[in-house]
Amino acid sequence: MKDLKNLTVAITGASSGIGLEAAKLFATAGCKVALLARTQDRLASAETTISALGAEVLALPLDVTDESAVTSTFEKITDRFGPVDILVNNAGVGFATDLSTCSTDDFRAIMETNVTGVFLCSRAVLPAMKQRKSGHIINVSSVVGKVTNPNAPLYCSSKFALNGYTSGLQQQVAADKIRISLVSPSAVDTAYWDGRQVDRSKFLQADEVASTIFFVASQPDGVLIKDIDLTALR
């Protein structure tokens, strides 16, 4: 397994759930961790949690759909820790939609976070990765990016788009020795499901998905896990 000590890791959607659990693992491995999320109070709590693990941590509020904010935020990370070695694009939103009645705002909220946000954050780190001929971007997708369902078709569509973007990026930067990975879990017990009448007892847990992200990142430089699906056996 690759030694990740002293590498700079940036994680979007890092204030809770999968993002926070992944941050704990990278911090424990000796990484410098940049926590990025929209909710400032939860972000401050996450920063305290990661700092307690002895890691160097930088917590920055970020809406991944804001182009100028993404640019300035990643500049701050570079100024503090140096260029990003590992980017985990974990931020995402989703909710049930009826395609005959849902609003344009609903469409944009899902697509801009789940697709545009990944594009903007990835673009922010890629030039330095290409210059160094090194780096790893891990995109958190979903099994519904491969087999859709009728309940949240816009969310599913955004994950299909993310998967296509990831595949194209993999091919474009392979010659630069940059690794692009996709992690696709089934339903995960996170805040995504808050307010819905859903039995979560058989869902994946956030720390289980985080451990998969860490496993993908820990592979030797010559090994690329392109796409990994996971589901719970309960």
Cα–Cα nearest to 91, from 69, 62, 132, 131: 62
Query: 192 an active-site residue?
Result: no
Give the whole-angstrom CA distance, residue 36 versus residue 14. Answer: 6
Cα–Cα nearest to 190, from 55, 21, 8: 21
Which residues fall within 8 angstroms of residue 137, CB to CB, at 6 or more apart?
Answer: 86, 87, 89, 122, 125, 126, 129, 169, 178, 179, 180, 181
Which residues in 1-140 belong to E strands, given as ranges?
Answer: 8-12, 32-37, 57-61, 86-89, 136-140
Q: Find the catalytic residue in 26, 74, 119, 155.
A: 155
Helix/strand/coil (H, E, C) string of 106-172? HHHHHHHHHHHHHHHHHHHHHHHHHHHCCCEEEEECCHHHCCCCCCCHHHHHHHHHHHHHHHHHHHH
Give the whole-angstrom CA distance, residue 23 versus residue 78. Answer: 18
Catalytic center residues: 155
